[in-house]
Structure 1
Amino acid sequence: MTIITPLPERPGGGRLTHAPADHPSLPSARVGVVLANLGTPDATDYRSMRRYLSEFLSDKRVVDYPRWKWQPLLQLIILSRRPFKSGEAYRSIWNTEKDESPLLTITREQTRKLAEGLHARFGERVLVDFCMRYGNPSTDSVLRRMQAQGCEKILFFPLYPQYASPTTATANDQAFRTLMELKWQPALRTVPAYFEHPNYIEALASSVCEAYEAATSTPEVLVASYHGVPKRFLLEGDPYHCQCQKTTRLLREHLGWKEGAIQTAFQSKFGPEEWVGPATVEHVAELARQGKRHIAVVSPAFAADCVETLEEIQQEIRDAFLAAGGETFTYVPCLNARDDHIDALLTIVENELAGWL
């Protein structure tokens, strides 16, 4: 005869009213929140860089050429040279104290602060973690760990203010690939782009004001530099370019600046085809040739400083401006773990958790 023993209510989940005495124990039901960022190599040596770049550049969302054409070129030519150059770039910004990339350091701090805010509101019912689309901690490992810890519902938050297929979409793809392999799938929600969220725009504007107040002179132009995408993505329906333009406009309006005071440009071009423009590295040089002596650059598409901002903007793009005759270059750091940025993320998360808590 089977003995049925009542079990206590599981916080955040349903009541297990009856279960046999030998039923395995289950963790308390929780709601998980996962911050997802692009990724980072484990180290800067050739093998680590090649492994990371191979995963990144093999993603069909990033490079959508036919595999039979792209993979031989990638594996035999590009990855024989690019890991050396990329490793050098990462070494110039590497967090040597923690032996990790700045992106990993910052994302961990963002997660810690967000967890503190959510725990103050909801207690232990919410579990917060982060993952990377490429590299570690992997999306698969984090989602599986959260499920094992009792997360029956998970809010998946790609940290990209503007939606793009090579960023937001591939992050979501990877999360759903994990669900495809699970016997017991948690319910999963994804956070939409927040490029026009008033709290995000306000935090962005505050970061610009603080950088201007700390500058020795007032920049003549602010360049909003976004990561670029091939122009055909725009023509095929990707909203990224339009959302970037709107972010720039909303930032300018929030600051109360006249038209032209903030100019939109795009960086990190890769491959031979035409990308959306103007290219940041060329645009800042042209500003110098036009007589602009002091400019500032902000990166609204990046939630955390990374190799594209710390190395590309602060070194390559800065050097292009100075070489063309510019004199003073001010970089406005990403929002990173600023309190107003965390507050904005917290507001977004609480809204997306409606009905779950």
Structure 2
Amino acid sequence: MTTDVAMDQPGEGRLVNAPSDHPPIPRAKVGVVLANLGTPDNTDYWSMRRYLNEFLSDKRVVDYANWKWQPLLQLIILTKRPFSSGEAYKSIWNTEKDESPLLTITRAQTEKMTERLKALYGDDVEVDFCMRYGNPSTESVLTRMKEKGCERIVFFPLYPQYGSPTTATANDQAFRTLMKMKWQPYIRTVPAYYEHPAYTQALANSVQEAYDSLDGRPSKLVASYHGVPERYLLEGDPYHCQCQKTTRLLREKLGFSKEEVDTAFQSQFGPEKWVGPQTVNHVAELAKQGHKHIAVLSPAFSSDCVETLEEIQEEIHDSFMEAGGETFTYIPCLNDRDDHIEALTQVVNNELRGWLG
């Protein structure tokens, strides 16, 4: 580590040769911050409106000109959508902890990551998590990390595939926080890990375990990813291509044929053309083709959230069943599975090289 500190007490000290009135500083550490998408604080109208306003005002998410988008957002969308989104969140809300499942799961992932990294590096590492939208905010967590002595920080957006509306905006927010700091920590951002062998293995394990628990084998496995406008692909965003490769690597790891596994995209909104096929329509078409039992998983989500717990298990499920399907199996996200945490730990350890150990 870089700072030369004489320790007064555990975790705190003064700079060597500094005057006696120099303020105490924490012992230098390395921080690891897991960054997820975000969550409203509650399901009521104003909590949902604050969250949706922050999310839908992000230029990485909706990149239309403000003069065109903001009047529509503020006067129409945010007067109606907080009610429907609030109902969706109510249907999945963790009532015991009074928080969204995404927050519950991300905290659990962080706790397990802390255990693994502490076992490797002891007190030299500090682990925490933040949200791009909502709380705990990126700024509050990075500021707290710096105050704890983290002179170097690995910032880890929990998105296996790189996307400008996900990975890039998480990094943007971290950089905005650094712009406000007098003493910036050194920072490394974690690249996409969609082709990391341990991630692929964890996905394959989750699918195989789900299949082993079923009475009959699904005739189709659908890998459903969050959609993006087709324009993003044409402008150079690699997300669509990385999703396709994720599906291929998963299929090969499982030993499934090409006919057994499909790629589809969900959560489309707005008038422009999005990458496809749309999951909600694709599963209905599968049912009409005679597929009576399908399984769906979400490789782009590191944690179950409203898009998986509500959209897939309700809207997409209903679309399949109403079109003639009989059995719909949802395979949960990797969440805090041990093999998932092992994969994330391997990714982090690669970024810690030269900083720890």
TM-score range, shorter chain: over 0.9
1: distance between equivalents of 2:7 and 2:70?
54
CA deviation profile, 1:213-271 (whole Å, cap 9, x unmatched)? 11121100000000000000000000000000000000000011111211000000011
2:57 corresponds to 1:76: no
Report sequence identity in percent: 74
Q: Measure how far apart 1:20 and its partner are.
A: 1.2
Q: Measure how far apart 1:11 and its partner are.
A: 10
Q: Could you tell me whether the CA contact under 8 Å between 1:203 and 1:340 is conserved in 2? A: yes
2: distance between equivalents of 1:214 and 1:87?
33
1: distance between equivalents of 2:301 and 2:264?
14
Match of 2:258 in 1: 259
Q: Could you tell me whether the CA contact under 8 Å between 1:106 and 1:337 is conserved in 2? A: yes
Match of 1:23 in 2: 22
Q: Could you tell me whether the CA contact under 8 Å between 1:228 and 1:276 is conserved in 2? A: yes
Q: Could you tell me whether the CA contact under 8 Å between 1:113 and 1:342 is conserved in 2? A: yes
2: distance between equivalents of 1:148 and 1:161?
29
Task: Give the secondary structure class of the aligned counterpart of 1:83.
Answer: helix
Describe the shift of the 1:191–1:9 C-alpha distance in structure 2 as closer, same or farther (beyond 3 A).
farther
1: distance between equivalents of 2:136 and 2:189?
19
CA deviation profile, 1:307-332 (whole Å, cap 9, x unmatched)? 00000000000000000000000000
CA deviation profile, 1:12-53 (whole Å, cap 9, x unmatched)? 9x9943211121111111100000000000000000000000
2: distance between equivalents of 1:9 and 1:239?
50
Unaligned ranges ≥5, structure 2 = none
| Counterpart mapping for 1:68-107 below 5 A | 68-107=67-106
Match of 2:32 in 1: 33
User: What is the aligned residue count?
Assistant: 352
| Counterpart mapping for 1:313-324 below 5 A | 313-324=312-323
1: distance between equivalents of 2:197 and 2:313?
28
2: distance between equivalents of 1:128 and 1:337?
15
Match of 2:42 in 1: 43
Q: Could you tell me whether the CA contact under 8 Å between 2:33 and 2:154 is conserved in 1? A: yes
Task: Give the secondary structure class of the aligned counterpart of 2:25.
Answer: coil
Q: Measure how far apart 1:7 and its partner are.
A: 2.5
Match of 1:3 in 2: none
Structure 1 vs Structure 2 CA RMSD:
1.7
| Counterpart mapping for 1:189-338 below 5 A | 189-338=188-337
2: distance between equivalents of 1:343 and 1:313?
26
Q: Measure how far apart 1:200 and its partner are.
A: 0.1
2: distance between equivalents of 1:145 and 1:62?
27
Q: Measure how far apart 1:8 and its partner are.
A: 4.3
Match of 1:187 in 2: 186
**Structure 2 length-normalised TM:** 0.96
CA deviation profile, 1:168-225 (whole Å, cap 9, x unmatched)? 0000000000000100000010000000000000000000001111112110000000
2: distance between equivalents of 1:153 and 1:16?
18
Task: Give the secondary structure class of the aligned counterpart of 2:217.
Answer: coil
**Structure 1 length-normalised TM:** 0.96
CA deviation profile, 1:58-81 (whole Å, cap 9, x unmatched)? 000000000111000000000010
Q: Could you tell me whether the CA contact under 8 Å between 1:41 and 1:52 is conserved in 2? A: yes
Q: Could you tell me whether the CA contact under 8 Å between 2:45 and 2:82 is conserved in 1? A: yes
Q: Measure how far apart 1:158 and its partner are.
A: 0.1
Match of 2:132 in 1: 133
Structure 2: which amino acid aligns with 1:223?
A: V
2: distance between equivalents of 1:11 and 1:181?
29
Structure 2: which amino acid aligns with 1:290?
A: Q
2: distance between equivalents of 1:179 and 1:21?
29
2: distance between equivalents of 1:149 and 1:334?
32
Structure 1: which amino acid aligns with 2:168?
A: A
Q: Measure how far apart 1:9 and its partner are.
A: 10
Task: Give the secondary structure class of the aligned counterpart of 1:145.
Answer: helix
Unaligned ranges ≥5, structure 1 = 1-5
1: distance between equivalents of 2:7 and 2:91?
54
